[in-house]
Amino acid sequence: MTPEKEVVLTKEGLAKLELELETLKTVKRREVAERIKQAIEFGDISENSEYEDAKNEQAFIEGRILTLEKMLRNAKLIEHTENDSNEVHLGVKVSLKDMENGDELEYILVGSAEADPMNNRISYESPVGKAILGKKEGDIVEVNVPAGKLKYKILAVS
């Protein structure tokens, strides 16, 4: 048996997963059980789409509960420490300048379970995350992407 992968989380990410798990176990399970009960009351379940939909949702919820429990079991909390060296590490906010077009970007570096690029939360395992991890303010990094190389200057680490 292979060891389970460590899941790196911020305090906010841990709280979000714990809340999702609690909601699935207490609210969603009850809701889907009620839907299944109602669908069975309609009679013949062999051609009952409501029953099929409810059973599929139940399977999804149970699968997500197992996934979340495993993630929480293997969670490693990112401790926020004073960043005297202005070095990029998990949990920090990083301001970057695209050296090609001058755009400024801001990201929070998180574990892959919390990554949400649409909300400026990137994984330390992503191409940009790997490139900036361990670097300092003023450093210029190159990021290999399918379209070529991108260059960023680290403007600030907070």
What are φ and ψ of residue 47, in 5° steps?
-130, 45
Give the list of residues 6+ apart from residue 125 with CB closer than 8 angstroms, or none. Answer: 112
Residue pLDDT, tens place only, 118-129: 999 999 999 999
Whether 81 shows a pLDDT value over 70: the answer reads no
Residue 59 has a pLDDT of: 96
Q: Where in the chain is the domain with CATH 3.10.50.30?
A: 93-157
Residue 72: beta bridge partners? none
* The pLDDT value given to residue 91: 86
Q: Which CATH class is domain 7-77?
A: mainly alpha
Q: Name, in order, each residue with C-beta under 8 angstroms of 147's C-beta and a sequence gap of 6 or more.
A: none
In this predicted model, what pLDDT tens digit does every residue of 55-73 receive, in sequence order?
A: 999 999 999 999 999 999 9
Distances (CA, A) of 94 to 5, 16, 78, 98, 142: 26, 22, 16, 13, 15
CATH number, domain 93-157: 3.10.50.30
* pLDDT at residue 3, rounded to an integer: 65
With 60 as the cut, is the pLDDT of residue 82 above it? no
User: What are the tens digits of pLDDT across the range 13-62?
Assistant: 899 999 999 999 999 999 999 999 988 887 777 777 888 899 999 999 99
Output the pLDDT for position 28: 96
Structure tokens at 109: 């570096």
CA angle 30, 66, 123 (to 5 degrees): 120
